[in-house]
Amino acid sequence: MSSKALLGIVAAALLLVLPLLGVDDYYLHLLIMGGIFFLLSAGMNLLLAAGQLNLGHTAFFGIGAYASGLLSLRFDLSPVFTLPAAALVSGLVGWLLGMVTLRLRGAYFVLVTIGFAEVIRLVATNWMDLTQGPLGLAGVPPFNLGAERFALAGKRDYYYLMVLLAGATLWVTARLLRSRVGRALRAVRENESLAESSGISAYHHTMLAMVVSCLLAGAAGGFYAHYITFLSPELFGFQNTVTMAVMVVAGGQGTVLGPAVGALVFTFVPELLRMAAFYRMLLYGVILLLVVMFMPQGLVFYLRRLLASGTPAPGEPTSDGAAFEAGAAAPAPDPALSLRDVTVRFGGLAAVEGLDLDLARGEILALIGPNGAGKSTAFNVVTGFQPPDAGRVHFVGADITAEPPYRIAERGLVRMFQRTSLFPDAAVLDNVLTACHRLARTGLLDVLLMTRLHRIEEQRLEDRARAILAFVGLSHKGDELARSLSCGEQRLLGLAIALAPAPSVLLLDEPAAGLNAVETGRLMRLIEGIRARGLSILLVEHDMKLVMGVCDRVVVLNYGVKIAEGTPAEIQRHAEVIRAYLGSGDALARP
Amino acid sequence: MKIFRVITLAALSAFAGVLAIGAPQAQTKTPIKVGLIQPLSGPVAASGSYITNGARIATDRVNAKGGVLGRPLELVIEDNKSDPAETRNAAEKLIVRDKVPVIIGAWGSSMTLAMMPLAAQHGIPIVVETSSSGKITDPKTPGQKVVSRISPTSELEAVGAGALIPKLGMKKIGYMAVNTDWGRGAVAAFGEAFKKNGATIEGVEYVGQADTDFYAQLTKFKAAGVDSIVITDDAPKTAKMLQQMKELGLNVKVLVTGGSAWPDSIIQLAGPKAAEGAMFINFYNPYDHAMAGDPDASKAYVKEWKKRNLPWIGIVEGMRGFDAVNVVAKAIEAAKEPTAPKIMAALKRIEMRGLYGLIKFDQNGQSYCNIIVAQVKDGKYGVVAMTPSSKLWEMSAAK
Amino acid sequence: MLAELVQHVVNGLILGGGYALMGMGLTLIFGIMRVVNFAHGELFMLGAFFLYTLFSLGGVNFFAACLLAVAGVALVGAIVERLILRRLRDQPIEIPMLAMVALSVIFQNAAILLWDPSPKTVRHPFSPVPLTFGPIHVVAIRVFAGAVAVALIVGAHLFIQRTRLGRAMRATFQDTDMARLTGVDVDRIYMFTFGFGAALAGASGALLGAVFWVYPAMGDLAALKSFAVVIMGGLGNFPGAIVGGLLLGVAESLGAGYISSGYKDAIGFVLIILLLVWRPQGLFGKKGLSR
């Protein structure tokens, strides 16, 4: 058994027997409060993994608390029903808020959530009939298991209930963060366009994280209501959210244990500082500042480093890595991709005008033209990043015009970006593994319950990722961070990421840019190898050696208009093409 | 920078170690611990600090006279950061770790309410020194049976000032109250009293705890043609309201309820011109010791407050802490041993004189106090009328 | 009826001027440096306390004390940048944010210890007798504060747009490496910018502290309003901050005057949420500047 698992079992055992060891009520209380904040921080952490910082999180805590409190007070319902109901109420409100606000990003999302919590606080303070406002709700019934005679009595009972809730939270967040859901969330945070291109819907995944985090917050609120038995609008105060944010970030955001460590440390530290009397909060601020400045990755990260002994063993591949499923297995209608009369205008300027283009199955087609000819714009239209002002795009017979990028990727049309686009802070293997997202078939329930089906699928995806890395020649770099690769290697990784979702059509945007002759040659062989596996390829390139050497046909754009189409040899002799490239005579060097 | 990481981790581990050993407690057998929970940080830290200082003055005075049962009193002071959940944490610590037999606190009504169930569970009596919500002494509220409150509710205030209301000549009233349990409770109680005396309330405006600008509400009142404004709020906000009234050209009668704002504080914060004529419902007059239930204590209190250079504007709030400690000391004396059940029983039976007036608790744990209507006359402190606490008992019984 | 409406609007403009003042420093620090400055309210508070100490306790001339208070907060800001933020420059946005949270706790509680939590008034030299324009009343100190706000905004805007130092600032925050290559001392620019933003916060704290009163927790509300103003006006946009502030002030004033006093703060936030859902870049921000 690994040392990590052993440590986990010891910790769990310790938690379970703690009350029996004579730990006094004060510390049990702190552990319970720490548990409540753990549920809150774990939720915030989950959403932050997707790159969204919800600084209104305490609103969902308060909503859960009041929901459970009011339901049990007004309707005489047992808390064993009202607590889950409260979680659902919070989750619902989170879903509604997400629908309105998740389109916002970064700083704006942060500020809207702050505003939302303030509005809720004011509603709770002023809606006297519902919440009794600042007078508060007293006499919330203590938690019971269905009837009053099964009420929880001492601290110990609440402690075990909290251990149950915390354990469930730990399980759920661990399952989500360590599976393809976590990979998808991190992908959205690190590089949203690339995630979308790999078939990951940013909106749906952030929404999932938001709803789960609000469910957890609502449960925490419900527990609080029946434990403290008194509710007042201070629950919605911004100070609470700041505390949670401290726990998440100083504990170690993005990790599973970070919120737990953060919640425990930052519940106990201010309490233990009570002995410092009037310097208490000042010292707390100083400690927090020190932790942030010298351990910015969070406590968990540094604790792991301290405890880690040597490098972790590299994962063993279970297949030979030579074969990986390409996308175009079934016969599909011809052409694989077609554009009809596509037009894009920016202001008065037509970037692309009336473009007709067909990509046959198994073909390698190049789209060339001087800079500003509209090639990247055409790509953006095809992959859903730019809706056209006119014209339609068809992919294996289906009309995909203006569909969102992740849907287009899900269909099997994937793009590799012009400038290096990766998930920089993830390992090379994880980059490819993340991009395999669309191939997963098991559902969320399988992820949460860690069924055998899911585990088999995860292994299969990992094998596939390794196979693709072997194909592009990056096997030896599997565990390194993507940001640490050389330019050429990063380009290969970009190609691997594009191959990961098993596309049937691959769009390559200047794949040879910045590569030297040797690297370009390698790339050419890779492209041929990709076609050999049944894919159709559309590429934009300036490197004529690659175009002439690898492509079946060439389409030439100039000022947004197609001026020529034919085999590489025909294009080389085409008068208008030569004129368009006037001044770049070396671009037409013979292969 | 690795060394700093190690230091920070070491500091955190030290706290963990304290967890194992336990926070150092001067467990010498001698002092009797009394818990005090107040907001010492956050937006109402000023009030918390006044009350804490009043409590300290009383504690030092008791100890100078030989303490209680031959042992010195020791105040164990905890900050609740103006928050109910923090109050609960503080109460847990005081009850479980410090094993205090009695707690004074916790200033705000929601803060006090948050710790009442816990105190009741452990049988620890609470002496409430400031909170004004009727809920606290309502038998239906969990934990009410351990509460002994020396501060009045807004209902009591209204009854005590009731005789005065017709004389004030307030007909069309605009009410500005802070949006807390205190403000809302006062509006309910005084609203009733005004209506009974034939006045109309043209409008009630609730202001936020941290608000500083009241032009909108005052403009509304001006347009409605009010002839008087009633305010329930702390001293700084009340002072601003009076100033802004003058700035807007709103020159009407002013009555301030609640006991925190008093002539001197408003004179200092708003200036004598803006404060002129305003009336205040207070529970203590530091200039006339005869009004207090215990004139000697009052003299000693004011003298010590000045000696310690404490802010003069806080003296009418500090007396809450002063009285609370004296009540506790008296109760422990009467109980003959510093245990919670005995102290609780002693509190129920207690009858003494404090700065609040005659202190004894009715069947709900509520005591009655002096109701003083003060006024700024010629830029200085003046008294309009007073209902002594004994009279208040009679009036309430008659209701 | 009309007089009441006009007075409400005038109140709102004056209130909004105060908000715009509060928001200005943050529009620089948050809008340009992208630091989520949760210590902004405390920089505001320090300006007020420095003024109080110099003027009310130290007897220094009011206007000189204002200037010195501003300089003091600028210095604090520069030190904070140099010692704390510089280390955290390459970290994701949550880390400097958390450092600022820690600083706000430190500053607020240090203020409680150094001065006490008792509220203090600053007896400024302006007359409390209102200036009247028909039925409309306005008081001199607030007009002064409003005038200073306008002057600061215009000055800051011109500074950033027209001077060499201002250009260097804009360059640094748009593309640090390029700025370095063109010879800009990037470290000094960072320090200066944060100090400048802090100075603006301190100026508004000193002025508004004189208008209202001075106490350690006074920054809490100021911080919230400042973020609202910055969002409304667009990150890094000075004229936007003043329009945002005025709009917020008038909306709150009218809301409190005609709808409900208790919910007036909510009105501001609901407006902001609606605004951002309709126009994610704020009133004046440029599209695409979301992160």
Average pLDDT over residues B323-334: 96
CA torsion, points A271, B151, B230, B317, in degrees to nearest 10?
Answer: -60
Q: Say if residue B389 is in the same domain as residue B353.
A: no
Q: Say if residue B379 is in the same domain as residue B235.
A: yes
Using 70 as the pLDDT threshold, list the residues of chain A that sit under it: 1, 308-333, 582-591
Shortest Cα distance from B349 to chain A (angstroms)? 27
Q: Flag whether pLDDT at C291 surpasses 80.
A: no
Q: Say if residue B41 is in the same domain as residue B118.
A: yes
Of the pLDDT bands very low, low, confident and very high (cuts 50, 70, 90), residue B349 is very high
By C-alpha distance, the chain A residue nearest B87 is A228
Whole-number mean pLDDT of chain B?
89
- From the list C91, C105, C266, the residue facing A119 with the nearest CB is C266
By C-alpha distance, the chain C residue nearest B211 is C221
d(CA C112, CA A314): 55
Residue A10 lies in a domain: no
Helix (H, G, I), strand (E, B) or coil at A571: helix
Shortest Cα distance from B313 to chain C (angstroms)? 9
Residue B16 lies in a domain: no
Residue A132 lies in a domain: yes
Residue A399 lies in a domain: yes
- Check CB contact under 8 Å for C272 and A278: no
3-state secondary structure chain C: CHHHHHHHHHHHHHHHHHHHHHHHHHHHHCCCCCCCCCCHHHHHHHHHHHHHHHHHHCCCCHHHHHHHHHHHHHHHHHHHHHHHHCCCCCCCCHHHHHHHHHHHHHHHHHHHHHCCCCCECCCCCCCCCCEEECCEEECHHHHHHHHHHHHHHHHHHHHHHHCHHHHHHHHHHHCHHHHHHCCCCHHHHHHHHHHHHHHHHHHHHHHHHHHCCECHHHHHHHHHHHHHHHHHHCCCCHHHHHHHHHHHHHHHHHHHHHHCCCCHHHHHHHHHHHHHHHCCCCCCCCCCCCC
Q: Say if residue A226 is in the same domain as residue A352.
A: no
Residue B303 lies in a domain: yes
Q: Say if residue B270 is in the same domain as residue B348.
A: no
Residue C258, chain A, CB below 8 Å: the answer is no
Residue B53 pLDDT: 96
Q: Say if residue B198 is in the same domain as residue B116.
A: no
Q: Convert the pLDDT of each residue in A329-345 to its tens digit.
A: 445 567 788 888 888 98
- Check CB contact under 8 Å for B92 and A26: yes
Residue C166 pLDDT: 86
Q: Say if residue A225 is in the same domain as residue A81.
A: yes
Q: Find the domain containing C73 and state its range.
A: 20-219
Shortest Cα distance from B170 to chain C (angstroms)? 23
Q: Find the domain containing B74 and state its range.
A: 32-152+289-367
Comparing A338-347, B156-165, B316-325, C197-206, the range with the smallest average pLDDT is B156-165
Q: Say if residue A192 is in the same domain as residue A49.
A: yes
- Check CB contact under 8 Å for A228 and B88: yes
- Residue B391: how many CB atoms within 10 A of its CB? 17
Q: How many domains does chain B have?
A: 2
Residue C251 lies in a domain: no
Residue B42, chain C, CB below 8 Å: the answer is yes
Q: Convert the pLDDT of each residue in C123-174 to its tens digit.
A: 888 887 788 877 777 788 888 887 887 788 788 888 888 888 888 888 887 7
Of the pLDDT bands very low, low, confident and very high (cuts 50, 70, 90), residue C290 is very low
Of the pLDDT bands very low, low, confident and very high (cuts 50, 70, 90), residue C268 is confident
User: Considering A200, A230, A250, which residue would you say is the last residue of a domain?
Assistant: A250
Q: Where are the alpha helices (DSSP H) in A127-201?
A: 128-131, 155-177, 180-190, 192-197
Residue A5 lies in a domain: no
Residue C105, chain B, CB below 8 Å: the answer is no
Residue C238 pLDDT: 77
- Check CB contact under 8 Å for B239 and C221: no
Q: Is the interface score ipTM higher than 0.85?
A: yes
Asked whether the CA dihedral C177, C179, C184, C187 is positive or negative, the reply is: negative
Determine the residue among B79, B175, B247 to mutate to test chain C binding: the one whose Cβ has the most chain C Cβ atoms within 10 Å: B247
Determine the residue among B4, B8, B212, B237 to mutate to test chain C binding: the one whose Cβ has the most chain C Cβ atoms within 10 Å: B212
Which residues are bridge partners to A583 per DSSP?
none
A136 Ramachandran zone, left/alpha/beta (phi>0; psi -120 to 50): left
User: Considering A231, A250, A269, which residue would you say is the last residue of a domain?
Assistant: A250
Residue A317 pLDDT: 44
Residue A256 lies in a domain: no
Q: Flag whether pLDDT at C195 surpasses 90.
A: yes
Residue A480 lies in a domain: yes
By C-alpha distance, the chain A residue nearest B139 is A139
Which residues of chain A neighbour C262 with C-beta distances below 8 Å?
122, 125-126
Of the pLDDT bands very low, low, confident and very high (cuts 50, 70, 90), residue B387 is confident
Chains A and C: how many Cβ contacts under 8 Å? 124
DSSP A277: G
**What six digits make up the tokens of B98?**
């410090």
Residue B8 lies in a domain: no
C139 Ramachandran zone, left/alpha/beta (phi>0; psi -120 to 50): beta
Determine the residue among B38, B53, B93 to mutate to test chain A binding: the one whose Cβ has the most chain A Cβ atoms within 10 Å: B93
| One-letter identity of residue A524 | M
Residue A123 pLDDT: 92
Residue B1 lies in a domain: no
Kindly list the partner chains of chain C, i.e. chains with 3 or more CB atom pairs below 8 Å.
A, B
Q: How many domains does chain A have?
A: 2
Residue A90 lies in a domain: yes
Residue B312, chain C, CB below 8 Å: the answer is no
Average pLDDT over residues B230-257: 92
Residue A275, chain B, CB below 8 Å: the answer is yes
By C-alpha distance, the chain B residue nearest A290 is B8
Residue A211 pLDDT: 96
- Check CB contact under 8 Å for B97 and A138: no
Of the candidates B37, B45, B235, the one whose C-alpha atom is nearest the C-alpha of residue C113 is: B45
User: Considering A218, A234, A250, which residue would you say is the last residue of a domain?
Assistant: A250
Q: How many domains does chain C have?
A: 1
**Residue B193: which CATH number?**
3.40.50.2300
Residue A101 lies in a domain: yes
Q: Say if residue B125 is in the same domain as residue B208.
A: no
Residue C262, chain A, CB below 8 Å: the answer is yes
Q: Say if residue B176 is in the same domain as residue B267.
A: yes
Cβ–Cβ under 8 Å, residues A162 and A168:
no
Residue B24 lies in a domain: no
Which residues of chain A neighbour C34 with C-beta distances below 8 Å?
107
- From the list A126, A253, A288, the residue facing C105 with the nearest CB is A288
Shortest Cα distance from A301 to chain C (angstroms)? 14
3-state secondary structure chain B: CHHHHHHHHHHHHHHHHHHHHCCCCCCCCCCEEEEEEECCCCCCHHHHHHHHHHHHHHHHHHHHCCCECCECEEEEEEECCCCHHHHHHHHHHHHHHCCCCCEECCCCHHHHHHHHHHHHHHCCCEEECCCCCHHHHCCCCCCHHHEEECCCCHHHHHHHHHCCHHHHCCCEEEEEEECCHHHHHHHHHHHHHHHHCCCEEEEEEEECCCCCCCHHHHHHHHHHCCCEEEEECCHHHHHHHHHHHHHCCCCCEEEEECCCCCHHHHHHHHCHHHHCCCEEEECCCCCCHHHCCCHHHHHHHHHHHHHCCCCHHHHHHHHHHHHHHHHHHHHHHHHCCCCHHHHHHHHHHCCEEECCEEECCCCCCECCCCEEEEEEECCEEEEEEEECHHHHHHHHHHC
Shortest Cα distance from C43 to chain B (angstroms)? 16
Q: Say if residue B54 is in the same domain as residue B92.
A: yes
Residue B184, chain C, CB below 8 Å: the answer is no
Of the pLDDT bands very low, low, confident and very high (cuts 50, 70, 90), residue C47 is very high
Shortest Cα distance from C226 to chain A (angstroms)? 11
Residue C131, chain A, CB below 8 Å: the answer is no
Cβ–Cβ under 8 Å, residues B388 and B357:
yes
Residue B118 lies in a domain: yes
* Strands B32-38, A561-566: pairing kind: unpaired
End-to-end CA distance of chain C: 46
Residue B264 pLDDT: 94
Q: Say if residue B257 is in the same domain as residue B394.
A: yes
Q: Find the domain containing A442 and state its range.
A: 337-588
Q: Say if residue A519 is in the same domain as residue A414.
A: yes
Residue C55 lies in a domain: yes
Residue B219, chain A, CB below 8 Å: the answer is no
Asked whether the CA dihedral C136, C137, C140, C142 is positive or negative, the reply is: negative
pTM score, whole prediction = 0.88
**Residue A521: which CATH number?**
3.40.50.300
Residue C231, chain A, CB below 8 Å: the answer is yes
* Strands B352-354, B357-359: pairing kind: antiparallel
Shortest Cα distance from C133 to chain A (angstroms)? 35
By C-alpha distance, the chain C residue nearest B234 is C119
Q: Say if residue B69 is in the same domain as residue B198.
A: no
Percent of chain C with pLDDT over 70: 96
